[in-house]
Chain A
Amino acid sequence: MRFEDLDVSFLKIQNLAVKFHSGYRSFFRRLSFYAVRNISININRKETFCLIGESGSGKTTLVWAILGLHLFQEGRIVFDGQTIKQSNDPVHQKLKRSAQIVFQDPAASLDPFFTLRQSIEEPLRARGVGKKDRAAIAESLAAKTGLSYELLQRRPSEVSGGQNQRACIARVLSIKPDILFLDEPLTALDAIVQKQVAKLLCEMKRDYDLTYFLITHDLSLVKEIGTTVAVMYSGRIVEKAPKEIFFSNPCHPYSQALLSSVLKPGIWKGKRIVLKGEVPSPLNPPSGCLFHPRCFRKLPVCEKIAPESKTVATGHEVFCHLF
């Protein structure tokens, strides 16, 4: 699938920012900081949008803000043509109903006291689906995701991580979501199981006409299933590009470093770029470009002025003074 072939924008995020409260400056004044800021992305129907970045870069916060698990303070979300100006307004409820999420740790995202069947049936139950229908849907989904009938009677602690993740996928599919958020769905799994679950995800996308919003730092997975890539660093997006362009021509120095750190063969051919220093804390971010303290191609201007978005090719935006 090529970028140009996709539908018009399905989920649009404009200048979104989430503030967190981090303590008190004085008794009455709170201290707050931006966990994510200035996020603008478009997600088209049926694409696999990949958000990559390291831990602490705000990927999960962004997704939770979209899903209404965190309040967002600035910006807006346009979903299916309707605008959400603040968290939890009626349109947001609609988004929440047609969106689902798969978490990183499959065991933690299933109630330890529920059997897999109960977990899979739960969203149906909440929607008032009858007992028989529930069982039928759950069993067919289980079969589809590769869970045997007998496994359905077990609890999360009694099955393997891969099987739990399959149950999670079955669970979110049970209510036929339009968009599925995948929050590092493979990280907690072993290499072989990762491959299996990745394959399952691909199949499900095909079978259910899903839109994926994938959060990961596993670039080989992105290369395999992604369509669009956005790189986040310390709460901001530094580069956005269609997958092919991103892998062939990463522009932002951070993107390059990130790609170079993928040790799996076939992704980065050149010399490894070892970054210095640490990821800046969002509590006191550096001035100018957030990446400048670690950047290996730093210009003097980077220390002072935050870079604006620059379009270097169709759909390829970079936030860097180098371009």
Chain B
Amino acid sequence: MLNLILKRIAAAFFVFIGATFFTYGMMMFAPGDAALEIAIARYGGHDRVDGATIEWIKKKEGLDKPFLYQYCHWLKRVVVLDLGISLVREEPVWQLIYTRFARTFELALSAIVIALLIAVPIGILGGVKQGSWMDSMGVTIAVIGVSMPNYWLGLVLIILFSVKLKLLPVFGYGDWRHMVMPAITLGTALTAYTTRILRSAIIETLQSDYLIALRARGISNRLVLGKHILKNALIPVVTVVGLEFGMILEGAVITETVFAWPGIGDLMVTAVSDRDYPLIQGLVLFTAMVFVLINFLVDVVYRYLDPRIRLS
């Protein structure tokens, strides 16, 4: 276990260096004057900025220094867990990310809960009764679910539930009613995906030899289905759902745009368009680390579920 953690930390470090280096490099190659962009983002339009302000920003934020210097300087601070101050918002980057991520996390978690609540029964029934009408319905729903552009779905939901039925708020953040539509929008693709994986995992498990052996030994159907098939089928689902964290984050960008949900996706959009360097670095670092963490958790759960997996 300790080895696994150490390995993960080493991998995370590599990912972190690489990811931040890429981001830095990308911004260096980007056309335009960084200081001017910051000034515009911080103080309004082009008309609100004069040359002196630009020079001042350039000097204050160290943008006149060479690329590697800036990069190393930043790395040095990160070691002591200081992500710096947002250039545009002039607030600590960590605080911005933290508050926004908490909201995205809420949304993501409810989306996953919805996805599991729907996907698990459909997937299991579909897998066990392969070929039945329920199965084909499940399969159809699943394939439509992955094909549905989620921004479109979001709009349809808004028109239906907010404008026509006036049941749910169009946008905002607060109680559970704000959560319903974004969570469904975000969860649809996940639901479809999980259903599909679970179904095929169950079918695959059903074809394995040990099921015949279990039945031949006289184990009751309830036990076979509820214990053996389910736990075996869960293994691929866990890995896939875990690794599809990226999918959730992508979905979050769009969902948050449609529902004005103030999460990390929204922050990402604004940070990129403001050229808020420290914020983008912080976000990249944060996303990559969350990604590594999720991978690690998936690994742990996977190892817990599947004893065959050894450290390799």
Q: Is A284 an interface residue (CB 8 A)?
A: no
Q: Name the CB-closest residue of A to B310.
A: A23
Which residues of chain A are within 8 angstroms of B6 by Cβ–Cβ distance? 27
Distance in angstroms between the alpha carbons of A23 and B2 in the assembled complex: 13
**Once the chains are docked, how many angstroms separate the CA of A27 from the CA of B4?**
9
Query: Which chain B residue shows the least CB distance to A26?
Result: B3
**Complex CA–CA separation, A23 to B312 (angstroms):** 7
B311 at the interface (CB under 8 A from A): yes
Residue of B nearest to A22 (CB): B310
Which residue of chain A has the shortest Cβ distance to B5 in the bound complex?
A27
- Please measure, in the bound complex, the distance between the C-alpha atom of A26 and the C-alpha atom of B4, giving whole angstroms: 10
The bracket for how many chain A residues form the interface is: under 10
Size of the B side of the interface (Cβ < 8 Å), in residues, is: 7
CB distance from B19 to the nearest CB of A (A): 23
Residues of chain B from 288 to 312 with CB closer than 8 A to chain A in the complex: 310-312
- Give the shortest distance, in Å, between A149 (CB) and chain B (any CB): 38
Please, how many angstroms separate the alpha-carbon atoms of A26 and B1 in the complex? Answer: 11
Q: Which residues of B contact A27 (CB under 8 A)?
A: 2-3, 6-7
Instruction: Give chain A residues whose Cβ lies under 8 Å from the Cβ of B2.
Output: 27
Instruction: Give the residue name and chain of the A residue nearest to B9 (CB).
Output: A27
Q: Which residues of B1-31 are within 8 A (CB) of A?
A: 2-3, 6-7
Which residues on A sit within 8 Å (CB–CB) of B311? 23-24
Distance in Å: Cβ of B130 to nearest Cβ of chain A: 25
Nearest CB on B from A264, distance (A): 29
Cα distance A266–B129 in the bound complex, in angstroms: 54
Distance in angstroms between the alpha carbons of A26 and B311 in the assembled complex: 12
A27–B312 Cα gap in the complex (Å)? Answer: 12
Chain A nearest CB, measured from B6 CB (Å): 5
A residues 1-33 in Cβ contact with B at 8 Å = 23-24, 26-27
Measured CB to CB, the nearest residue on chain B to A23 is B311
Distance in angstroms between the alpha carbons of A24 and B311 in the assembled complex: 9
A27 CA to B9 CA in the complex, in Å?
12
Which residues of chain A come closer than 8 Å to B310, judged between CB atoms? 23
Cβ of A48 to closest chain B Cβ, rounded Å? 37
Nearest chain B CB to A286's CB is how many angstroms away? 23
List residues 257-312 of chain B with CB under 8 A from any CB of chain A. Answer: 310-312
Q: How far is the CB of B158 from chain A (nearest CB, A)?
A: 52
Q: How far is the CA of A159 from the CA of B262 in the complex (A)?
A: 63
Alpha-carbon distance A23/B6, docked complex (angstroms): 14
The distance in angstroms between the C-alpha atoms of A110 and B253, with both chains bound, is 49
Residues of B within 8 A of A23 (CB): 310-312
Question: How many Å lie between the Cα of A26 and that of B2 in the bound state?
Answer: 9
For B3, give the chain A residue with the smallest CB separation: A24
- Shortest C-beta distance, A27 to chain B (Å), equals 5
Q: Which residues of A contact B312 (CB under 8 A)?
A: 23
The residue of chain B having its C-beta at the shortest distance from the C-beta of A27 within the complex is B6
CB of B308, distance to nearest CB on chain A (Å): 15
Task: Kindly provide the distance from the CB of A310 to the nearest chain B CB, expressed in whole angstroms.
Answer: 40
8 A Cβ contacts from A209-224 to B: none
Complex Cα spacing A27 to B3, Å: 6
**Once bound together, how far apart are the Cα atoms of A261 and B311, in whole Å?**
37
A:25-81 near B, CB below 8 Å: 26-27
Complex CA–CA separation, A135 to B305 (angstroms): 53
A23 to B3, CA, bound (A): 10
Kindly state the separation between the CA atoms of A53 and B312 in the bound complex, as whole angstroms: 28
Closest B residue by C-beta to A25:
B3
Q: 10 interchain pairs (CB within 8 A)?
A: A23-B310, A23-B311, A23-B312, A24-B3, A24-B311, A26-B3, A27-B2, A27-B3, A27-B6, A27-B7
Give me the interface of A with B, judged by CB distance under 8 Å: 23-24, 26-27
Top-9 shortest CB links A-B: A27-B6, A24-B3, A23-B311, A27-B3, A24-B311, A23-B310, A26-B3, A27-B7, A27-B2
Q: A27-B3, A27-B7 are in contact. List 4 more A-B contacts (CB 8 A).
A: A23-B312, A24-B3, A26-B3, A27-B2
